Amino acid sequence: MSDNAKPSLQQKSLPFGRSLYSHALQSCMLLCIGITVALVFFLILYILIRAIPYFSWEILTTKPSYLRGTIGVLPDILNTIYLVFTALVIVLPLGVGAAIYLNEYAKSQKLVKVIEYAVETLAGIPSIIYGLVGMLFFCQFLSLQTSLLAGSLTLVIMSIPVIIRTTQESLKTVPNGYREGAFGLGSARWHMIRTVVLPCCIDGIVTGCILAAGRMLGESAALLFTAGFAHALHGYIDGITSSGATLTVALYVYAKEQGEFEVAFVIAAILLVLCFITNYLAQAYGRHMKKIKQ
Amino acid sequence: METIFDVENFNLWYGDNHALHNINMKIEKNAITALIGPSGCGKSTFIKTLNRMNDLIPSVKLSGSIRYRGQEIVNSDINVYNLRKEVGMVFQKPNPFPMSVYDNIAYGPRTHGIKNKSQLNDIVEKSLRDAAIFDELKDRLKDSALGLSGGQQQRLCIARALAVKPDVLLMDEPTSALDPISTSKIEELVLDLKKEYSIVIVTHNMQQAVRISDYTAFFLLGDLVEFDKTDKIFSKPSDKRTEDYITGRFG
């Protein structure tokens, strides 16, 4: 081999063809990143710019009045809180219980596989289908009428997969040695789960819960059918049993049916902030638990 | 000597795999019985039947008889929780719970219904003293047990097992994950515990069996080849296979 066939270590740049190719690809990827970031910021800025001029303390703290011609979103905020709270209270024991059964009790691996497959499929079903089924089953068959309760129950079915999945993942991270240790001291299965396994994976469960709450906040299709459109101001008990629009549904109604785009953008901004808060909480909680464990 | 476990014609299957064949042995009270043999010979499987930890594996089937203080434990409906309280276990890998040192020791007594604070304090102190680790840990009772060294964790696990006042202590290769100094501390401890407890220990280390045990059982491919006094097994084994194994010809 002659010397000039070897690439020189002094030569700074690649051959022209390869360097062009490399630069072209790098630029492509930069462009992709640029477009993604620009889209996100455009969306956020656009919503905020459209919303801020109409933002007032009054709109946040009153209900709409046709007599005075004013608009307020307080009922929608409260409805959203009632709905998410109710759904979480119901879905947590169901989902966590199912995950514990699958991971700690179930003996037949075949059954577990079938259930896991069903849960995964449940997670992939478009939410409008949940709405349709929820309307027929909860509103009509169980005669709950169009109400926040019917909406919550529909959301419960929708978010069961998220809770089961996240709980199962964190149960699987608990070392088997802990279980053996507890059994070896004569503890019964449920006692072992309650005192050793669950304390280890409480952080996974909480994170799953926050994620599920985030999805509920953003859900609209399933609620159009089940939770209704009213903007009345209620306490919890009255609120949950009567028809009520959540923020997302109210946004749809104001923008699409009444042409009130200003209110729609105010609601969009509120949802955006709530979305930030839930994501931040999930991350902050994760970091906090990591610190405690160390 | 008094017999604590009386094993007769005991067989065990994992599904279709016949893992233990016709085991017969009498385990003495207040003695250390070592189970030796190459990997996969069934010694860990055997020790786990003595406190029914094999119940946790769904495919296991048993036949024959093992009597603990005269009570049949194979395929019988004895209270396994009480059996495991009487027959405690220490595992190969130290497995302290992710809680404080104190809560680790108090876990067993609490499980069995002791709530009184001063009673728990006494148990924790006595168990740690019995496991010869009290002086090292007395100022760290509130610290997480996961911060201890491997050897300390294993002695903590022994203390945790002692806290429920067992009668027998099963040890499944308790020193195989530890350094030589921690190993010798645990061996001293085990010798000391013999006065109050009957001990069955699985070990891969034949010097360890010689150093601490009174009786040795040699398992090979699911058979109990030879079971006798440790001196006898290591000086004049009656079976050729035992001799080959202890002289290092295979294993």
pTM of the model: 0.80
| pLDDT for position A26 | 93
Residue A2 has pLDDT above 60, yes or no: no
Domain ranges of chain B: 3-246
Q: How far B172 CA sits from the closest chain A CA (Å)?
A: 12
Q: What angle do CA B90, B50, B30 make, to 5 degrees?
A: 75
At A156, the amino acid letter reads V
Q: Which of A30-39, A264-273, B176-185 is the most confident on average?
A: A30-39
Residue A236 has pLDDT above 90, yes or no: no
| pLDDT for position A263 | 84
| pLDDT for position A293 | 65
User: With bands split at pLDDT 50, 70 and 90, how would you rate the model's confidence at A258?
Assistant: confident
Question: What's the mean per-residue pLDDT of chain B?
Answer: 91
| pLDDT for position A96 | 93
Considering the four listed CATH numbers 3.40.50.300, 3.90.25.10, 1.10.510.10, 3.40.718.10, the one that applies to the domain covering B3-246 is 3.40.50.300
User: With bands split at pLDDT 50, 70 and 90, how would you rate the model's confidence at B246?
Assistant: confident
Query: Which chain A residues are within 8 Å of B83, Cβ to Cβ?
Result: 186
Query: Which chain B residues are within 8 Å of A184, Cβ to Cβ?
Result: 51, 53, 84, 88-89, 91, 161
Note whether A186 contacts B112, CB cutoff 8 Å. yes
Residue B215 has pLDDT above 90, yes or no: yes
| pLDDT for position A114 | 92
Please, where are the H alpha helices in chain B? 43-49, 80-86, 101-111, 117-130, 134-137, 150-162, 180-193, 206-212, 230-235, 240-246
Note whether A180 contacts B95, CB cutoff 8 Å. yes
| pLDDT digits 0-9 by tens, A190-225 | 999 999 999 888 888 888 888 888 888 888 888 888
Query: Which chain B residues are within 8 Å of A180, Cβ to Cβ?
Result: 53, 56, 89, 91, 95
Q: Where does residue A116 rank: exposed (0-12), middle (13-18), buried (19+ CB within 10 A)?
A: middle
Q: At B189, is the secondary structure helix, strand, or coil?
A: helix
| pLDDT for position A220 | 83
| pLDDT digits 0-9 by tens, A107-142 | 888 888 999 899 889 888 888 999 898 888 888 888
| pLDDT digits 0-9 by tens, B88-118 | 999 999 999 999 999 999 999 999 988 999 9
Q: Which of A63-67, A111-115, A165-169, B198-202 is the most confident on average?
A: B198-202
| pLDDT for position B228 | 92
The ipTM value here is 0.88
| pLDDT digits 0-9 by tens, B222-240 | 999 999 999 999 999 989 8
Note whether A293 contacts B98, CB cutoff 8 Å. yes
Quote the radius of gyration of chain A (alpha carbons, Å). Answer: 26
Question: Sheet harboring B17-28: ordered strands across?
Answer: B71-72, B60-68, B3-14, B17-28, B223-229, B215-220, B32-36, B198-202, B168-172, B87-90
Q: At B219, is the secondary structure helix, strand, or coil?
A: strand
End-to-end CA distance of chain A: 58
- Stretch B67-76: mean pLDDT: 90
| pLDDT for position A52 | 86
- Stretch B54-79: mean pLDDT: 89
Task: Find, in chain B, the residue whose alpha carbon is nearest to that of A186.
Answer: B81
Note whether A200 contacts B98, CB cutoff 8 Å. yes
User: With bands split at pLDDT 50, 70 and 90, how would you rate the model's confidence at A290?
Assistant: confident
Number of H helices, E strands in chain B: 10, 10
Question: What's the mean per-residue pLDDT of chain A?
Answer: 86
Query: Which chain A residues are within 8 Å of B88, Cβ to Cβ?
Result: 184-185
Selected for mutation to probe chain A from B44, B50, B97 (highest A CB count within 10 Å) is B97
- For residue A231, give Cα distances in angstroms to A57, A72, B191, B222: 18, 9, 77, 75
- Tokens linked to B71: 């009570």
